[in-house]
Every structure is written in structure tokens, then in C-alpha cells.
Amino acid sequence: MESNHSRLLLALVMVLLFSVIVLQYVCPGTDCQLLRLSSLSSKLGDSASRGGGDRNDGDSGDPYVAEDRTMARFVPRFNFTTGDLNRSVDFNIKGDDVIVFLHIQKTGGTTFGRHLVRNIQLERPCECHAGQKKCTCYRPGKRETWLFSRFSTGWSCGLHADWTELTSCVPSLMDTREPPKMQNGPRRNYYYITILRDPVWRYLSEWRHVQRGATWKASLHVCDGRAPTLAELPSCYPGDDWSGCTLDDFMDCPYNLANNRQTRMLADLSLVGCYNLSATSEPERGAALLESAKRNLKGMAFFGLTEYQRKTQYLFERTFRLAFIAPFTQLNGTRASAAGQEAGPETQRRIRQLNRWDVELYEFARDLFLQRFQWARQVERRQARERRQRERRRMRARGQAWRRGERREGPLWPTPAPVDWGPEESRDRVRGQVPAPAAWWDPEENTTMADYLDNVEHW
């Protein structure tokens, strides 16, 4: 009975060892092993979450899959070129390049803006002091800023400046503050970035914000050389006192600038006469602003989505080759989500109708964002696979050269110096009376992988 148990145990051990050897041959590098382990932990995490409710986003093996299940059911709607998807810029923080953050109200821009000044690994981190909202973000070895945002330069171009204002204000303002060293030298590269959010939740969040007494009248800026006067603003502009108002009151305002705010702030307003609503009809104005916003968004160096925090972090890091210190977190318990529970399906349908341009812009942005994420992950996997293949070829060539005693790009082991045994010792060695000398190569060079490859060739 004991012999049967021993044989069974020996057979299991042999099967396990054989499996390990085959796995090492198929994937000799450590990257593949870690990838398999992470895939297994991801599956375990998925099954546990299905059985025991929601889990933390970071519990699963792949944080991007754990964030949501979007990629499993994502079907692209728009056709984009390789240049649109392969978004990577040559950002030179030590040169003259500047990142410009276009901060749209109630999109999570405050959180992202803090990440930019407090959460990036830099040779010269931003200097942030307690009690001060602004941080000093200088380049290494220079007293020049590389970031134009609320938390670095303040609202230098106006409160929540839009695309029209920023593109005309930032270059001249930067040249005034930091004059170029050469008048005819290369111009600065400005990389515009922004964050978008689902229009319904953004709208509800803005209503909650102005209901608490916030005002954004100062966020209307110069367009075509002039700023709108207070007389031109509608009587129900959200900058008025909305404390105590209901959501219906907020939606009933026919000229509420919260409507389609994301489209308007990303478009070139000079195309439609800025804030002059009588310049064009409402359908023509909306269509022109939407196409302009899509074009500008696609041309930006980077944009993220509030609903996909980890993917936003991933794409930013790959685009600018900068790494964040701590991972982004997905917070679902916002005031907008609480307001969404109060707003029924009919109210949400009405909000979508009021923000139909923003809804279409967000669908376009979400499609482009997820396609960029897919593209970046495919490139990353292909590069990892090519590295593993090069490693296998190198190890296989090394094993073959070791068996043949060949030398590839220099000797694999040091060549021994000739030894004069003498006539008597040579005769004794032939007779087997003198033991062979110790191996002259370094035992460390005779790796187990080379031995293994030698065995595989015989299989």
C-alpha cells in the first residue's frame, strides 16, 4: 500500500517538474510568468466579485479591467487614423515645452489638476506649501514653468478659460512672463489637455454647485477682441443667485450656459460670433460648435474621462512619458450621483435633450478614448512579446554555441592557457593514471537554461 502511494506521489512530482520545464521553454523570461500570475489573480478577483458583491478597483490583477467591464463590450463606432490613435508627444520638460490644462467646470478637473502638481515623479517636483492653492512648477535648473494650470499659474487667462481664450492668451502671456532667449528662435510647444465627463452627471453637478451659491460670470472671456457685457447676459444666467432653486428651475432657463458647456468650451467660438446668439440659428450654431469641438479635441495632446480614472492615468503617462506616484482612484459617491438618484428617468432624458451637443461630443470622445487605450495596450503587449522573443533567441543561440564550442561576438568562456604536461605525465594521462584537471571555465557560465536548451534540442 505504501509503495502505491509513493509511486503516485512520484508521478505527480514528475508531472509538475515536466510542466515547469515546458513553461520555462515556452516563456523563459520572468515577464511571462508574472503575466500569467496576474491573469490568474484577475480571474479569481472577477469570480470573487461576482460572488461577493463589488470589490475595490485595485483588487483584481489588471487594474484597467478591474476598473470597469467596458472593454469587453466596447464596439468602435468611429473610424480614426493611426495618427489619431497613436498619441505620443516628445514633451521636453527641460526645454521650452508647456502643458496647458483646459479646466471645464464639474468634470473632475480639480482632482486632476492636483495630480499634475502633487503626484508626478519629477526631477524637480512642484513646490507646494500648506495653505496655498498654487504651486511653483519650475523646470530642472531653470526658473521657468512647464505647466499652465489653475494650481500652477492660477486663472491667468480668466476663470475657467475656454479653448478660444486659452489659444489666444497663453502664448502671448508666456512670452511676456518668460521672454524667449532668441527672438527668431524656435517657438514653444504648447500641449493642450482636458478632462470630459458624462453630460448628465456633469450637468447635475453644476446645478448642485450653483445651488450652493457659486457664480461663474467671470468665466466669460474675450472673444474676437471683446468680452460680453453684463447686459448681454441672460437674466437666468447660472451666475445669478440660484440658492434654493429646483432642478426644474435650472432646466427651464432657455439661455442656461450650463447647457452644452463642454462643447462650447472646446470649440472655436469665433466661428459662430462668440456669445452673440442672434448671429446664427440655434441648429446651425450647435452643429458648427460640435464639429469644431470634435476637431479640437482630437487634435489635443491628451484628454481623459472622469468615468475612467485608471485609463486616464495610463494614457497620460504613455503620452508624456511621465509617471504618477500614486494611482488614480475611481470615486462614484459624488454629489451628482446623489442628485441622480433624485432625478428620475424623465428628468435625465430632458437633461440629455438640453445637452444634446454635449451628449454627441461625449460619445465621440469616449469612442476615441477607448480606441486609444486599446491601441496603447496592444502596442505595449507587442513590445513585451518582442522582448521575450529576443530573449529566447539569445538564450537559444547561447545554448547552441555552448554545445558546439563556437564563439559568438567574443568567447563565451575564457580560453585556457596551454599547459605543458611533460612526456611522463602525458603518457600517464593516456593510461588514465592521472586525473583530469578541474574545469577551467566558470561554473556560473554553465547556466541551467543552457543545459535545458541542450536537452530540448534532443527532444
In angstroms, what CA-CA distances link 324 with 122, 250, 306, 341? 9, 38, 17, 34
Residues with Cβ within 8 Å of residue 166, at least 6 apart in sequence: 100, 102, 157, 192
Cβ atoms within 10 Å of 132's Cβ, excluding its own: 10
298 and 365 in contact (C-beta within 8 Å)? no
Distance between CA atoms of residues 145 and 168, nearest Å: 19
C-alpha grid cell, residue 351:
437633461
For residue 120, give the 3-state DSSP assignment. Answer: strand
The phi and psi torsions of 145 (rounded to 5 degrees) equal -90, 145
Q: Alpha-carbon Rg of the chain, whole angstroms?
A: 32
Angle in degrees, CA 309, 161, 340, rounded to 5: 45
Length of the chain: 459
Of the candidates 160, 209, 221, 458, the residue annotated as catalytic is 160
Q: Is 160 a catalytic residue?
A: yes
C-alpha grid cell, residue 47:
469570480
For residue 100, give the 3-state DSSP assignment. Answer: strand
Distance between CA atoms of residues 260 and 268, nearest Å: 14
Nearest to 174 by CA among 139, 123, 128, 209: 139
Q: Label residues 20-32 b or e (16+ Cβ within 10 Å = b).
A: eeeebbebbbeeb
Enzyme catalytic residues: 160
